Structure formats: C-alpha cells, structure tokens
Amino acid sequence: MASTVLVVTALEDVTADWVIDALNEREVPVARLDPADIGPGLTFGFRIGADSPGWGGRLRTVSREVELGEVAAVYYRRPTPYAARFEHLPQQQREFAATEARHGLGGVLNHLHGAMYVNHPSAVAHADFKPLQLQRFIELGLTIPPTLVTNDVEAARKFAAEHERVICKTFRGLPPGGDGYTGAIWAQRVDPDTFDAALAVTAHLFQAEVPKTADARVTVVGRRVFAQQLAAPDGALDWRRGDWDELVHAPITVPSPVEAALHSYLASFGLLFGCFDFALTGDGDAPAHWTAIECNPNGQWGWLPDAPAITTAFADILSTEGGGRR
C-alpha cells in the first residue's frame, strides 16, 4: 500500500522541518521537494494510459527517488514560485518555461491518484479570497465586522459616517520589490477626510473597527483545535506589526458553536488545515464575543507556544489518515 508523505516546499522552511522530523520519528517514508528546482536537480518521467487510473512514474531529486504510486499524502507548504527558476531568461522565455513547468510538473503533482492533500493548492487558492471568507463566516453563523469593498469615494465616505471608527486593510500582502523582498501594509485606522479620487485606482477593504479586548489565533488541523489569545504590549491595532516575540499569549477555549463553524468552514473549502484570526470582545466565553476576521488556508504557526502540539497534529493526520497505509 502507498505510504510515502510528499512534502512540497522551499528549502528553507523550518515549519516543514518540524513536521518531517516528527514523521521520521514514526518511521513514515518522507520525500521533500521544491518544484522550482526543476532541472538537473529535479527530474521526472510520468505516464498515464488506459491501463492506469492515474499518473505513475518516478520523480528524482538530488537525494531521493519517489514512485508516484507510493505517495499517500502530500503536505503542500510554501514552494518557491516556478518563475524564480527561470529568472535568468528573457521575459517571454521565462514566462513560457514557468507556465509549462507549472502546468506539466505541477499538473501531475497536484492530481496524484488517491493521495490526501494538506492542503490542496487549488483549495488554498479558492479559499484565499477575503470577500468569500467573510461571506462564508456569515453563512455559518459567525459574527463579522461590517465591511465595505469599494473603489468609490462617496461609498467610502458614507460607510465611514455610519461607524465610529473605520479601518482599512489590504486583500493581499505586498509583492516582492526590485530587491526581491516583500513588505506589508498593516490594518490601520483611516480618516474619512483623507478620502479622495485616488480611491478609484483599485479596490479597498474597509471595516468598522471592532472594540476588541484581545485577539485570538485558532489553528485547526483535522479535528484538533489550538487556540491562543494574543495581546500586543503596545496595544497595537494590528498585532502583526510589532515584535512577535513580545506578544503575550494565553490558551483560550473556543466556544463549541464557533469551533463547529470552523470545522464546517474548512470542510466547505475542502481544507484540512487553517489559521483563523478573531477579534475578541468581552471575556471571550460566548460565541457573540468572537468576531471572525479571516482565515489563512496556508498560515504560519511555528511562532505559537503550542507549535509542538500542532506539529504532532500534522504528523498524525499525514501518517494516520494519509501515510498510515503502511
């Protein structure tokens, strides 16, 4: 029976290292690769035909050789973009080569017959849109902040007039700049008097500010739930903008209706893992005290105090539900 866990990620990924170590301790076969290494360091030959229900063949890295039929589970983390492999080529050739690699190698790796994905890249892509996340939260009975998506200055001014305080946040992070480094634009309060015609340039996300007492990060892996209450020492609106090592953590219990909604949320997108952010009001012991902000379907969790337990949860789901067919 299939038993190998395929870990798809970049070379420098400490979080993936932890999960791989945990799988190695269980003697679960593991193969790690970064699809952007395609070339002499990553070769493959895949075949499909009338006599086979799915893609078969071998994939070779500098240290491992994997038979696709042996892959029972895929831990899809954060591989390097295919385009990085071809940066030395002229633009047209670069885009062509990256597209061919993504549709060829990626097209097979993302559709392995019978394999379990944590999480499947197409499911991650689908679940990555904040407007859809907010809509799904409401459908599942969770509280969300009043929200406006707009590029119309008058709509923005009207929304601001309806709420005491309004914040603005981005839909996605900043892409890499010319130096290759990415940046961030944190959630911030906005003054409606500064709204002008420049808003028409692109879409903006405005929300009524939640009078929160703290934040919560809830990490769900399979049926296991890990929740931490967060507080920034300086009381920052967005806890991500400061030194994460200075955050004050405390375990918190997620109300049963909220926890049930999170499992339903992930199931609706075909996800087995997600990192949920909440703004807490009151003491957080009632569902109404939990305001859903967003879900990162491929979020970071290695910085949390319960990272060792989360690592175990990943190893459990990959080796028992996926790679456990040893």
Question: What is the 3-state secondary structure of the chain?
Answer: CCCEEEEECCCCCHHHHHHHHHHHHCCCCEEEECHHHCECCEEEEEECCCCCCCCEEEEEECCCEEEHHHEEEEEECCCCCHHHHHCCCCHHHHHHHHHHHHHHHHHHHCCCCCCEEECCHHHHHHCCCHHHHHHHHHHCCCECCCEEEECCHHHHHHHHHCCCCEEEECCCCCCCCCCCCCCCCCCEECCHHHCCHHHHHCCEEEEECCCCCEEEEEEEECCEEEEEEEECCCCCCCHHHCCHHHCEEEECCCCHHHHHHHHHHHHHHCCCEEEEEEEECCCCCCHHHEEEEEEECCCCCCCCCCHHHHHHHHHHHHHHHHCCCC
Asked if the structure places residue 314 within a domain, the reply is no
| pLDDT bucket at 324, cuts 50 / 70 / 90 | very low
Asked which of 17-26, 266-275, 284-293 is least confident by mean pLDDT, the reply is 284-293
Check pLDDT > 70 for residue 19.
Answer: yes
Residues 52 and 150 in one domain: no
Q: Let me know if residue 134 belongs to a domain.
A: yes
Residue 244: is its pLDDT beyond 90? no
Is residue 72, in this structure, part of any structural domain at all? yes
Q: Are 9 and 25 in the same domain? A: yes
CA distance 317 to 123: 18
The percent of residues above 70 in pLDDT, for the chain, comes to 96
Is the pLDDT score of 234 beyond 90? Answer: no
The domain of 284 spans: 127-143+211-303
State the pLDDT at residue 30: 95
Task: Characterize 40-52 residue by residue with b for buried, 16 or more Cβ atoms within 10 angstroms of its Cβ, and e for exposed.
Answer: eebebebeeeeee
> Which one of 155, 174, 209 terminates a domain?
209
Query: How does strand 4-8 pair with strand 30-33?
Result: parallel
Q: How confident is the model at residue 191 (pLDDT cuts 50, 70, 90)?
A: very high
Do 277 and 156 lie in a common domain?
A: no
Between 285 and 93, name the one with better pLDDT.
Answer: 93
HSE-CB for 317 with a 13 A CA cutoff: 20
Residues 134 and 253 in one domain: yes
- Statement to judge: residues 164 and 267 lie in one domain: no
Q: What is the CA radius of gyration of the chain?
A: 22
| Residue-averaged pLDDT of the chain | 91
Q: What average pLDDT does this structure show over 74-80? A: 95
Q: How confident is the model over 22-43, as a mean pLDDT?
A: 94
- The mean per-residue pLDDT over the stretch 210-219 comes to 94
246 confidence band (pLDDT: 50, 70, 90): confident
- Residues 94, 139, single domain; the answer is no
| Per-residue pLDDT band at 278 (split at 50, 70, 90) | very high
Output the pTM of the full model: 0.92
pLDDT recorded at residue 181: 67
Q: Is the pLDDT of residue 61 over 90?
A: yes
Q: What is the mean pLDDT of residues 135-162?
A: 97
pLDDT for residue 97 is more than 70: yes
Residue 244, in any domain of the structure: yes
